[in-house]
Structure 1
Amino acid sequence: MRITRTLLTGLVTAAALATSVPAAGAAPAARPGERTYCPQLSKNLKWHGDNRARLQRMIDERGICSHPKPGPSGRPVAAFDWDNTVVKNDISDATVAWALRHDKIPRPRTWRATNPWLTAAADRTLTKACGTTVPVGAPLRTSRNAACADEIMEIRSEGRTMDGKPAFAGTWHHRRTVPQYAWVPQLFAGLRPATLGSYARQARAEALAAPIGSVQKVGTHTLPAYVRYYDQQRDLIRTLKAAGFDVYIVSASSEPIAEAWSGGVGLDRAHTLGIRSLTRHGRLTTGIRGCGDVKDGHGEVLPYMDGKRCWINQEIFKIKGKAAWDRQDWSHRIALGAGDADTDVTFVNDATGAHLALNRNKTELMCRAYDNADRRWVAQPMFIDPLPRKSGVYPCATQGHTNADGTKGPLRRADGSVVPDQKDRAYGRK
């Protein structure tokens, strides 16, 4: 009996020791009185390759699984672009198309007054196509005037008139703004923000009800009629929030438009950053708020490329003035950044935990993703109708970087070395 008791005691002790030592790769043990909890991404949603596992590892490393209480720098932050990152297709296009089909664009005093870069040729073309019989501030009859609807849609989407003339000219910082993006909220000047939000919600209802793959006609333009939330991104945002992350949307859409959609992934207005129009007497104007040391103006700075970094630094990390344009120290940067285009590359590259790049064949973003300098880039084909493999290579070494004047040059790593050309590796198969 004494031998049996000794053996039993040894087995119990060994078992206790075994359970007290974490396995390699396991989350750290909780401190006394604390519970270790690791929210998990759904295994029922398809991701490319090992992308789910890599994102889960970042969530475990940076979230409450490893840090039950926020550190001195606060909760980890995740930031997502919106169009074609969280949803398939473009919510600004959907809203403008809805407004054109329902006669909701107010006639401006002059078209030149809507945007400082709008050309005289565009002003003449719009004036001719849309007419002057409608009183200033009253809605244009774009549902019955295909020529007017066409000119507005062509300038919005292509930055040119229907006869091919440039719609915008002059000088702007090409890593901070693009005039045709600023023009969308400027089209709705004179309306209350809540009115624009109601248009966006009605456009949202139509776009979510339209079948995947369906198209709509606006004038003679054909564009997608549908928008869909990506199930994988909804799940990722849900999991990040459960893991203690502060999650934001940073979009180059007008903020009332973005707010009409962001609630669909559980984010409120305080966590939705977009183009912020200046208001007068409660109504939208053509003015747009600046960022950092750039004063309010008419779109000189948008949440666009380097401008997205500025807005994140200023609004989330409370870094003011000129410093908001700078890449910050590790504790004042986002943990996860997600985007689909070169317009997102700066803030996505700033992330310290994971850079999620949805592949739409955009050169600067995908060059960063495939170079994978810090081994934390996650290249992902679009979840709905992914693009096939890009032919040839991304010209990273010669055309990979957009300069402030709009010219292209070599893309460089943090140490100054040039990123070599890259082959496409995360794509759809058709």
Structure 2
Amino acid sequence: MRTGRTLVSGLLAAAALAASIPATATAAPAGPRSRSACPQLSENLAWYGDNRAKLQKMIDERGSCSGKGGPRPVAAFDWDNTVVKNDITDVTIAWALRHDKILRPAGWKSTSAWLTDEADAALTKACGTDVPVGRPLRTSTNTACADEIFEIRAEGRTMSGAAAFAGEWNHRRTVPQYAWVPQLFTGHTVRQLESYTRKARKEALAAPVGATQKVGTHEVSGYARYYDQQRDLIRTLKKAGFDVYIVSAGSEPVAEVWSRGVGIDREHTIAIRSVLDKQGRITPWTRGCGGVPVSKGEAIPYMDGKRCIINQEIFGVRGAKAWQQQPWDRRIALGGGDADTDVTFVGDATGAHLVLNRNKPEVMCRAYDNADGRWVVNPMFIEPKRRQTAPYPCATAGYTHPDGTHGPVRRPDGSVIPDQRDTIHG
């Protein structure tokens, strides 16, 4: 675990934070090279249509073969369902629930700023009060407790259907049930959470494609796979002089364990960063971004929050400016994602916007509209989604406003993107 950026007190000095900024201050190799000497994407791995050629063209133009020199280009990828198939957060939580690794909090409402009275009551009833505070809940045998925790994490509601989170939050900066994931591991050390993640990862990678598992009465996916195409893309980008980052809306220790599998180290893995207490244990508090202070999840790497964290941690943009799109030379060259949580940072990319189609409206509206001609849409490499029969409601309800309401998706010039049909799918 790194001390400058991962899961540390949100009160780090600005100088220490600046010292963690890598990448863009390092010069890229200069001087043109023949195409045969340039790092090449494998021709043995299947991409949709001419997507491999599009990505290779961007690599050649922006990487070490460009002969342009200057700062190293940056590529940033979401993690779940972008670099791997399935959600590693759910894999980890499922393992933790099956092995009694969630500690009983003093009160469930202390775990989230938005947890409702109904959710608090449901969790208290299901999980009971017999287990002392700070000791493991018996979720491996207490089906009702495991069910309530997993349902709230997965669906944002209790098993009876009541809303689990309520109140006000910026819907383009956070979502309470995402922020709740690291909060569930309050009281554990980072090393303990990493240990749970490694064990869950081993199980998920060993399980056959399509395998499921039981969590309480929930039947959920029981496997995960690294996408060979994305592993190859990351390898090729790094060979071509790119600095490659993972930017995830999951818990950072979990993401760090998995990112090593594609050659990404801790310093290049960014996710939700919990604040630790004096004993080094995870607390419900998380570090903010762009001038947002330590909170219980008001600003996480989610939607606009991913842009903020990239601007702040990679390009050194401070304060409220980190929420704004930066000039061309202070933006990533390639962004890869699969969902609306990725739409802002993927859209900021200047060379290629890579999207794996999971039928998420805002990102697919922008991808299919392809306003700058640089969007690269690919079906998921494993168990791809089928075609969405109805057009994406781009002109009316594809965009999520900060208050959670929906409206039309607009291009940078303000024009409305018309509804888009789903044309690239499994």
TM-score by length of 2: 0.91
C-alpha separation between the residues in 1 aligned to 2:407 and 2:195?
42
Mapped contact 1:94–1:225 kept (Cα < 8 A): yes
When the two chains are superposed, the root-mean-square deviation of aligned CA atoms in Å is 1.1
C-alpha separation between the residues in 1 aligned to 2:392 and 2:212?
30
C-alpha separation between the residues in 1 aligned to 2:250 and 2:197?
11
C-alpha separation between the residues in 2 aligned to 1:66 and 1:289?
38
Q: Secondary structure at the match of 2:56?
A: helix
C-alpha separation between the residues in 1 aligned to 2:355 and 2:374?
11
1:51-90 matches, within 5 Å, as 51-67=51-67, 69=69, 71=70, 74-90=71-87
Identity of aligned residues (%): 70
Is the counterpart of residue 118 in structure 1 residue 107 in structure 2? no
C-alpha separation between the residues in 2 aligned to 1:67 and 1:260?
35
Structure 2 residue identity aligned to 1:255: E
Structure 2 residue identity aligned to 1:206: E
Is the counterpart of residue 398 in structure 1 residue 396 in structure 2? yes
Q: Secondary structure at the match of 1:399?
A: coil
Aligned match of 2:138 in 141, 144, 167?
141
Aligned match of 1:299 in 274, 289, 297?
297
1:13-412 matches, within 5 Å, as 31=31, 37-67=37-67, 69=69, 71=70, 74-281=71-278, 282-412=280-410
What CA deviation, in whole Å up to 9, does each residue of 1:37-56 have, x standing for no partner?
31000000000000000000
Could you say which residue in structure 2 is the equivalent of 1:19?
none
Q: 1:247 Cα shift?
A: 0.1
Q: Secondary structure at the match of 1:380?
A: strand
Q: Secondary structure at the match of 2:284?
A: strand
Structure 2 residue identity aligned to 1:418: V
Q: 1:31 to 1:178 in 2, by over 3 A?
A: closer
Mapped contact 2:31–2:66 kept (Cα < 8 A): no
Unaligned runs of at least 5 residues, structure 2: 1-29
C-alpha separation between the residues in 2 aligned to 1:65 and 1:227?
34
Q: 1:194 Cα shift?
A: 1.1
Q: 1:207 Cα shift?
A: 0.2
Mapped contact 1:35–1:68 kept (Cα < 8 A): no
Structure 2 residue identity aligned to 1:346: T
Structure 1 stretches of 4+ moved >2 Å: 34-37
Mapped contact 2:112–2:284 kept (Cα < 8 A): yes
Q: 1:67 Cα shift?
A: 2.8
C-alpha separation between the residues in 2 aligned to 1:121 and 1:395?
33
Could you say which residue in structure 1 is the equivalent of 2:4?
none
Q: 1:57 to 1:147 in 2, by over 3 A?
A: same
Q: 1:425 Cα shift?
A: 1.1
C-alpha separation between the residues in 2 aligned to 1:67 and 1:343?
34
Could you say which residue in structure 2 is the equivalent of 1:11?
none
What CA deviation, in whole Å up to 9, does each residue of 1:46-102 have, x standing for no partner?
000000000000000000011364x0xx10000000000000000000000000000
C-alpha separation between the residues in 2 aligned to 1:197 and 1:175?
28
C-alpha separation between the residues in 1 aligned to 2:420 and 2:377?
13
Q: 1:353 Cα shift?
A: 0.1
Unaligned runs of at least 5 residues, structure 1: 1-29
Q: 1:293 Cα shift?
A: 1.2
Q: 1:415 to 1:131 in 2, by over 3 A?
A: same
Structure 1 residue identity aligned to 2:318: K
C-alpha separation between the residues in 2 aligned to 1:357 and 1:142?
37
Q: 1:114 to 1:64 in 2, by over 3 A?
A: same
Q: Larger Rg: 1 or 2?
A: 1
Could you say which residue in structure 2 is the equivalent of 1:416?
414
Q: Secondary structure at the match of 1:241?
A: helix
Q: 1:202 to 1:418 in 2, by over 3 A?
A: same
Structure 2 residue identity aligned to 1:226: Y
Structure 2 residue identity aligned to 1:55: L
Q: Give the number of equivalent residue pairs.
A: 395
Could you say which residue in structure 2 is the equivalent of 1:4?
none
C-alpha separation between the residues in 2 aligned to 1:260 and 1:140?
25
Q: Secondary structure at the match of 1:216?
A: strand
TM-score by length of 1: 0.91
Structure 1 residue identity aligned to 2:55: L
Structure 2 residue identity aligned to 1:349: G
Question: Relative contact order, CA 8 A, sep 6+: which one is greater?
Answer: 2
C-alpha separation between the residues in 2 aligned to 1:31 and 1:306?
36
Structure 1 residue identity aligned to 2:210: G
C-alpha separation between the residues in 2 aligned to 1:190 and 1:95?
16
Structure 2 residue identity aligned to 1:209: A
Mapped contact 2:31–2:65 kept (Cα < 8 A): no
C-alpha separation between the residues in 2 aligned to 1:61 and 1:306?
28
Q: Secondary structure at the match of 1:393?
A: coil
